[in-house]
A and B are shown apart, each in its own frame.
Chain A
């Protein structure tokens, strides 16, 4: 065995102090953080510098346009004078139309009440510690839609003048279509999911065909069918409302997606739960209602929320069949000759984008929060 004597020491025992080692690299503080997270290596440095340039190039001009250079007060003349900033007065002067559409001015309090109940109901259901969730869910899913219909449409017997559906519009219409789509698609989706997993061959086959058909065609096609084909399918002389037809189309479309989400939940429930319920002698519907569905629906809440986000964004498609949802009404307002200013279309689109973004992003955050809560596996 060769000993290494090159260091000049004669044995294993040092005769004096060893030379000082360099201090370990600092790992806390701003400087080291920048080094570790932004400039660790040549490739990352190039990446950092180029993305920094990208940010510096886009962010200030975007902020300037949106906020600092934008027109916040005045009329269309102020916007015409300042073409390099967003024209928010376009939105502030028309926000009522964007929210209510062409709904009768004197009757808009009805929508206000509905919106307040909706906000309270959603907050109640989304917040963890509120009591009486089941009752509230029943109220929001069953009673509220019926109540909302009578409030929106009106009823002579209740003393509410009728407001025809072509007058509905704006963000209200977006909510009407999205919410009725989701409320209708949940029960239909559950039934379809159960049907697809059923042991009755024909029923399972029919449900599968139904689901795959609706999932295979674009929503635009569904809306086209709702406007063009539904009237052909009905007995001569029977007509029904354009909006109702669109809502039916959207609900059927959404229920196919909902069915797949629910099926995922049903498949995730261990077989022992089914067997346990059967061993207790529970008949099918009781087993589903008391044992399986409460568990299955709980784990697919993120999926349901995601379906809803998709549906919510897709409501903008009704613009193609000439219903004026939020995007439709903004699109129509942009064409107003009084507001034919260069910055107005950008402002209109930015406004719609911000509204949708806030709604969808908050729903996405909620869905992620639930996902994290349900995620019991260990993380690193």
Chain B
């Protein structure tokens, strides 16, 4: 009887009622979800099309070639004038966003590492200052910090007219028009300095490889870092002096109302960069601290037992292991910084969001196309950053058996 029962149960299992079979149920659920989603998307597309028709908006990307007709305060690397097309506006915004994100990430990383290590310092005062820095900037909204740097610190600075007399040659100035310094202009022969610089980098790389091979063979070490430093700084410097200092600094000149010439870094850029770096660095510092603390004490103790010097212990034993803990959250901080750079729109720094999703959208009304392009850019930047960091992470991760 028992036998009979179990065998019938076994044969009945595949014949379980249609609704009780997990595989079939899964199919039904998924079909239902896809159907609802498809209906939803269809409704949205349909509504959008109707609404746009009612408002008399033509869809499509044709607007990109029309002339923009507005000026932009900072357009590095891209030729831009008021007659330029909306597509050029897009490029200007994109370049500005990428510049901000890149410089911001690098500086935030440096500052974050310094503060994170200071937080673990044996020096009581340094530790407390680092903690104060982290707790202060982490818990205050970023937008507030941007507005603070912009409208409370940089904008009230004196204007160029109050600082300089007409006709004065100005090599460096901080005023409410931004950071202005003399423009370095390379004279004939200056390109050799660049060549020397790149040659030094290549030679350093070769020395590093050679030193590694030699150390593997003979166990002798070579001061690669010091040699590299001397080469990379020394070679261009020597070339520069030998070529007869082929670099002129052309100062800005004070005209009646403003400074002409020189290199200007606009205050919007400075404010946004300062706020982003200071804010993100406070998070990175915590990540660095947590990463270093996550390395087990046994590791430091074992390194000491092997007689490894404290500086080497940090560099060869602790940091490589800490990096594995640090890199994933660091990636998301870089992504946050990139995304947060869109807050530029609050102080009108001409980043992608401000000039494209802001001004261009207001002028043309092509909401769908413009938002799609903007979001695509941010998603691509996110994917690229996380792709790079994943590559780096897989390079440093623990090789397991």
Binding site for B on A (CB under 8 A): 37-38, 40, 44, 47-48, 51-52, 54-55, 199-203, 206, 213, 215-221, 224-225, 228-229, 231-236, 309, 313-314, 316-317, 319-320, 327, 331, 342, 345-346, 349, 352-353, 356-357, 360-361, 364, 380
Contacting pair A217 B379 (CB below 8 A): yes
23 pairs across A/B with beta carbons < 8 Å? A47-B121, A54-B129, A200-B29, A201-B30, A202-B30, A202-B33, A203-B33, A206-B33, A216-B379, A217-B339, A218-B339, A221-B375, A236-B50, A236-B54, A313-B142, A319-B346, A327-B141, A352-B144, A356-B139, A357-B139, A361-B139, A364-B138, A380-B297
Contacting pair B152 A346 (CB below 8 A): yes
A12, B52: Cα distance in complex, Å: 105
Contacting pair A200 B26 (CB below 8 A): yes
Contacts beyond the supplied A216-B378, A229-B371: 13 A-B pairs with Cβ under 8 Å? A37-B122, A38-B124, A220-B343, A232-B51, A234-B47, A235-B50, A236-B50, A236-B54, A319-B346, A320-B143, A342-B156, A352-B144, A353-B148
| Interface residues of B, count at CB 8 A | 55
Q: What sequence of 0s and 1s flags, for each residue 27-39 of chain B, a beta carbon within 8 Å of any chain A beta carbon? A: 0011001100100
A204, B339: Cα distance in complex, Å: 26
The 8 Å CB contact of B144, one of A219, A320, A346, A353, is: A353
Which residues of A have CB within 8 Å of B335? 215-216
Check if B287 is an interface residue, CB within 8 A of chain A. Answer: no
Check if B218 is an interface residue, CB within 8 A of chain A. Answer: no
* Top 5 A-B residue pairs of the complex, sorted by shortest distance between their CB atoms: A360-B139, A218-B339, A37-B124, A216-B382, A313-B141
| Chain B proximity of A15: nearest CB distance (Å) | 39
| Chain B proximity of A351: nearest CB distance (Å) | 10
| Chain A proximity of B158: nearest CB distance (Å) | 13
The 8 Å CB contact of B361, one of A228, A236, A353, is: A228
Which residues of A have CB within 8 Å of B151? 345
Q: A217-B339, A220-B343, A228-B371 are in contact. Are A319 and B382 (CB under 8 A)?
A: no
Which residues of A have CB within 8 Å of B140? 313, 353, 356-357, 360
Contacting pair B136 A38 (CB below 8 A): no
User: In the complex, what residue of chain A is closest to B361 when comparing beta carbons?
Assistant: A228
User: In the complex, what residue of chain A is closest to B153 when comparing beta carbons?
Assistant: A346
Check if B368 is an interface residue, CB within 8 A of chain A. Answer: yes
The 8 Å CB contact of B378, one of A221, A234, A327, A349, is: A221
The 8 Å CB contact of A232, one of B138, B367, B382, is: B367
Check if B126 is an interface residue, CB within 8 A of chain A. Answer: yes
A236, B124: Cα distance in complex, Å: 65
Q: A225-B371, A361-B139 are in contact. Are A213 and B379 (CB under 8 A)?
A: yes
| Chain A proximity of B378: nearest CB distance (Å) | 5
Which residues of B have CB within 8 Å of A349? 144, 147-148, 152
The 8 Å CB contact of B126, one of A48, A199, A233, is: A48
Q: A221-B371, A364-B139 are in contact. Are A233 and B48 (CB under 8 A)?
A: yes
Contacting pair A220 B342 (CB below 8 A): yes
User: In the complex, what residue of chain A is closest to B136 when comparing beta carbons?
Assistant: A357
Contacting pair B123 A216 (CB below 8 A): no
A54, B132: Cα distance in complex, Å: 13
A316, B129: Cα distance in complex, Å: 27
A256, B179: Cα distance in complex, Å: 40
A44, B126: Cα distance in complex, Å: 9
Contacting pair B297 A47 (CB below 8 A): no
Which residues of B have CB within 8 Å of A361? 135, 139
Q: A217-B375, A232-B48, A327-B143 are in contact. Are A206 and B367 (CB under 8 A)?
A: no
| Chain A proximity of B363: nearest CB distance (Å) | 13
Contacting pair B340 A218 (CB below 8 A): yes
Contacting pair A202 B34 (CB below 8 A): yes
Check if B383 is an interface residue, CB within 8 A of chain A. Answer: yes
Contacting pair B125 A217 (CB below 8 A): no
The 8 Å CB contact of A221, one of B54, B129, B156, B342, is: B342
| Chain B proximity of A371: nearest CB distance (Å) | 11
The 8 Å CB contact of A228, one of B50, B126, B147, B367, is: B367
Q: A228-B361, A233-B47 are in contact. Are A218 and B129 (CB under 8 A)?
A: no
Contacting pair B125 A220 (CB below 8 A): no
Check if B81 is an interface residue, CB within 8 A of chain A. Answer: no
Check if B185 is an interface residue, CB within 8 A of chain A. Answer: no
Which residues of A have CB within 8 Å of B139? 309, 313, 356-357, 360-361, 364
The 8 Å CB contact of B123, one of A48, A218, A224, A309, is: A48
Which residues of A have CB within 8 Å of B135? 361, 364
Which residues of A have CB within 8 Å of B157? none
| Chain B proximity of A338: nearest CB distance (Å) | 19
Check if B374 is an interface residue, CB within 8 A of chain A. Answer: yes
| Chain A proximity of B67: nearest CB distance (Å) | 23
| Chain B proximity of A115: nearest CB distance (Å) | 21
A206, B38: Cα distance in complex, Å: 12
Which residues of A have CB within 8 Å of B142? 313
Check if B345 is an interface residue, CB within 8 A of chain A. Answer: yes
Contacting pair A221 B374 (CB below 8 A): yes
User: In the complex, what residue of chain B is closest to A231 when comparing beta carbons?
Assistant: B51
Contacting pair B141 A218 (CB below 8 A): no
User: In the complex, what residue of chain A is closest to B379 when comparing beta carbons?
Assistant: A216
Q: A231-B51, A353-B140, A380-B297 are in contact. Are A203 and B343 (CB under 8 A)?
A: no
User: In the complex, what residue of chain A is closest to B44 when comparing beta carbons?
Assistant: A233
User: In the complex, what residue of chain B is closest to A357 when comparing beta carbons?
Assistant: B139
A228, B136: Cα distance in complex, Å: 35
A361, B355: Cα distance in complex, Å: 35
Check if B357 is an interface residue, CB within 8 A of chain A. Answer: yes
Contacting pair B144 A44 (CB below 8 A): no
| Chain B proximity of A311: nearest CB distance (Å) | 11
The 8 Å CB contact of B129, one of A40, A55, A353, A360, is: A55
